[in-house]
Structure 1
Amino acid sequence: MTEQTDVVVIGAGLAGLVTARELGNRGHKVVVLEARDRLGGRLWTEDRLGRKLELGGNWLHWTQPHAWAEVTRYGLDVSRGPRSEETYWLAGDEVRRGNLDDFMALIDPGMTRLLEDTMKWLPRPDAPLTNGDLAEADQYNLQEMLDKLDLSVDERNANEAAWVGHFNAPLDQCAYVNALRWTAASSGHWHLMHEASAIYRLKDGNDTLANAIAEDADAEIRLNAPVTRVEHNNDGVTVTYGGGQQLQARKAVITLPVNILHKLDIQPALSEGKLAPSRERTASQGVKAWMRVGRRGTPGPIKPFFAYSAQDKPLSVIRTEFIGENDAVLVGFGADGNRIDVTDKAQVQAAVDVWRDDLEVLEVAGHKWGEDPYAEETWLIQRPGQLTKYHAAQQASEGALHFASGDIANLWAGFFDGAIESGLRAGRTVHAELKA
């Protein structure tokens, strides 16, 4: 006999968990189906290298209103990584050394010129399609816009490396509008955007947020329950999952990342406004690498540092996240997951040697998100044209099917905040329809 429920939520990332909480706590019977053996989706905290490491999403900030409201709701403690005392960057193939202020001064003219029209294009970052002329800016990739600035070699390398750290993708595939969206969400200030996307984290691990939402939700969460088929009409949904079990519901909320949405068997098929961007794929195809390092030769403390190279290097950015007496744990980012295996110590060592040959990589950790069958991407970075072509269609419900994901959020798309915003919207909309 097929099981009955009010709502099926597909995916137990932040968007799915928030949707389930909002609906379950309003009296609806909710079942969440999660393919993995854990909560969180692209939020993934693991005990590795002697620390709580964020293999997935890492940082949040008080300028991200939906995420910060959840931090306040559950009384979660926030911390930050150690302040950088040294900064390394490349000028051609020559390593330069200074402090973080030196590097920020180097990239400031380029960042300022690149982003000076942010609020013209996005006067309401919470409603990104408000400006009907945004498609004019959305035709360009970020590399094209940087090239127009005619920067010196030093400035060019530094600006490119900083953006690879933000975007986790080759810059000639990233929409310029991504840079505008992040900066507009930071009230037009690129320094604030840099801080909001890279400094603060939850002290006891970001999974404490996912766990708190799950514990607060009056919903049944089933792990190891991959969905294989969704059949829908205006009256309801039949979801097949696991070994052939079926659930019938009045509504379903699908929270899959953009890149895998077209791979789910949904009948009747979704609109082209959802399938086309999924087949095109997002630009995000980079890597996040964790490494524990020590000093070569004489053991001793390692000063916290930032290092920026160039976008053609396997890792364009590394920074200190934890410090010990004789070691440090660093996190690094690169534009292309095909250039480096983040689980191979020798490859990570070679990437670190670009800046520092005085550090020995002792252990590495990471996850190949591009090969993860339930993600196939890191955080959302769109290609040129995708926002203005597809955003409205990606958010729209189709009969009994609704959609929630940080990938289709308005304000901080690709961040925890965007996933929470999207889950809140789906919960409100589905509740109104069920009540009606």
Structure 2
Amino acid sequence: MHQQADVVVIGAGVAGLVTARDLSRAGLRTVVLEARHRPGGRTWTDHRLGRDLEIGGTWLHWVQPHIWAEVTRYGLAVTRGPRSEETYWLAGDEVRRGTLEDFMALIDPGMTRLLEDTMRWIPRPDAPLTVAGLSEVDQFNLQEMLDELDLSVDERNANEAAWVGHLNGPLIDCAYTNALRWTAATAGSWRLMHEASAVFRLAHGTRRLVRAISADTQADIRLSAPVRSIAHDDRGAEISYADGQTISARRVVITVPQNILHRLDITPALPEGKLRPSVEQTASRGVKAWIRVRGPVKPFFAYSSQHHPLAVVRTEFIGDDDAVLVAFGADSTRIDADDPAAIDAALRVWRRDLEVLEATGHDWMADPYSQETWLIRQPRQLTWYHRAQQAATGVLHFAGSDYADIWPGFIDGAIESGTRVARQVRAGLDPEPGRV
């Protein structure tokens, strides 16, 4: 049986779901093909360790305009983790202890100097390539820029650990412009950037958002339907998926992460500006671990350095007789998030009084449908590839958090990109020019 659609969306992550919602509600026959058995992509709430845990994307904030609009649209409740009552960090090999504000005061001089030119280079985060000379700084990695500050050992460790928590990769691989883009999104305030990227979350999990968008679409969402090939010309495309099924469409929206785009069988091949960054890969290759420890435990933050398996650990849930922590490290190959013994050893950098009961996570780097965590670019990738990655290739369009302008790598970025591409596709298929 021949299948026909106006639009086929590849991927039912948040970007794909938003795209499908907007197109289907505009009256276009829209089919979503998702390789996994669940929607959401890298946004995934799963019940583990006795809690609903965010295995992927988590945090949001009212300075993230696109996701906040969705929070308002669907009446979703927002909460936060427990406020830290004590904070640990390293000064060389010595463990220091104080308040979270003590730690923030420690990193403030380095953060301020590192980011003082943010608004000069990216005055408009919604148009990150506005300044012609941005390539001058896009050539540098974040480690180089931190090294230029000549910080004391404890300041250096603290700043590096904080950035590993943000960028989820070795700082030598992470472009300095990643830090500029995140900070530009909060009008140059590094403290607000820190809050916007690491504090507030949906009260009942991101699954509520995924379910709300899915229920609001008239698209045909097909799970366990991996795409095998795409053949396209100026009239449309034919997509082969699952076990030999095919569907034709006037337009295709591809929402896969940057790192796997080059693995898709697409004929004719995509242009170099799309394939090259996919082959090069993103800089983010870290680990996110969830850890249940015996309680009672006071809420805490802990920072080590980028050279430790876990650079940042903090409490996210407090129970009567247990607590659940979330932790991040720069390199997923250095620690197994499912190994309680390895997690216990990593926590002993700061504390020997914690008893690890269980640990869990997801190896996004090994996941065949992601092979990255959240988008963090290598040096030069922003100025060399960003425009090419966003551009359509004939009837093929590209959406996803990796291609966002304001908050790349965040759920907000996925919604921004999906909304923009849906508008472009709809306008291209609309018989009445200008009706959007």
Under TM normalisation by the shorter chain, which class is it?
A: over 0.9
Task: Find out whether 1:354 has 2:366 as its counterpart.
Answer: no
Provide, for residues 113-168 of structure 1, a one-character-per-residue CA deviation record: whole Å limited to 9, x for no partner.
Answer: 00000000001110001111100110000000000000000000000000000000
In the TM superposition, what are the counterparts of 1:272-291 in structure 2 within 5 Å?
272-291=272-291
Q: Distance in 2 between matches of 1:284 and 1:2?
A: 41
Q: Distance in 2 between matches of 1:5 and 1:249?
A: 5
Counterpart AA for 1:190: W
Q: Distance in 2 between matches of 1:236 and 1:163?
A: 44
TM superposition shift of 1:2: 2.2
Task: Find out whether 1:78 has 2:90 as its counterpart.
Answer: no
SS at match of 1:111: helix
SS at match of 2:27: coil
Aligned to 2:24: 24
TM superposition shift of 1:24: 0.1
Q: Distance in 2 between matches of 1:420 and 1:366?
A: 25
Aligned to 2:64: 64
Counterpart AA for 2:305: A
SS at match of 2:423: helix
Q: 1:431 aligns with which of 405, 426, 430?
A: 426
Aligned to 2:434: none
Aligned to 1:379: 374
Q: Which has the larger displacement, 1-10 or 413-422? A: 1-10
Provide, for residues 382-432 of structure 1, a one-character-per-residue CA deviation record: whole Å limited to 9, x for no partner.
Answer: 000000000000000011100001001000000001000000011000000
Provide, for residues 90-129 of structure 1, a one-character-per-residue CA deviation record: whole Å limited to 9, x for no partner.
Answer: 0111110000010000000000000000000001110001
TM superposition shift of 1:326: 1.7
In the TM superposition, what are the counterparts of 1:295-306 in structure 2 within 5 Å?
300-306=295-301
Q: Distance in 1 between matches of 2:367 and 2:35?
A: 12
Counterpart AA for 2:9: V
SS at match of 2:420: helix
Counterpart AA for 2:366: E
Task: Find out whether 1:400 has 2:395 as its counterpart.
Answer: yes
Aligned to 1:313: 308
Aligned to 2:50: 50
Task: Find out whether 1:363 has 2:354 as its counterpart.
Answer: no
Aligned to 1:180: 180
Q: Distance in 2 between matches of 1:343 and 1:35?
A: 24
Counterpart AA for 1:36: R
- Output the aligned Cα RMSD: 0.5
Q: How many residues align?
A: 431
Aligned to 1:198: 198
SS at match of 1:16: helix
In the TM superposition, what are the counterparts of 1:7-406 in structure 2 within 5 Å?
7-294=7-294, 300-406=295-401
Q: Distance in 2 between matches of 1:57 and 1:15?
A: 13
Q: Distance in 2 between matches of 1:72 and 1:96?
A: 41
- Please identify runs of 4+ aligned residues in structure 1 that moved more than 3 A: none
Gaps of 5+ in 2: 432-436
Aligned to 2:412: 417
Q: Distance in 2 between matches of 1:64 and 1:204?
A: 19
Q: Distance in 1 between matches of 2:238 and 2:107?
A: 53
Counterpart AA for 1:345: P
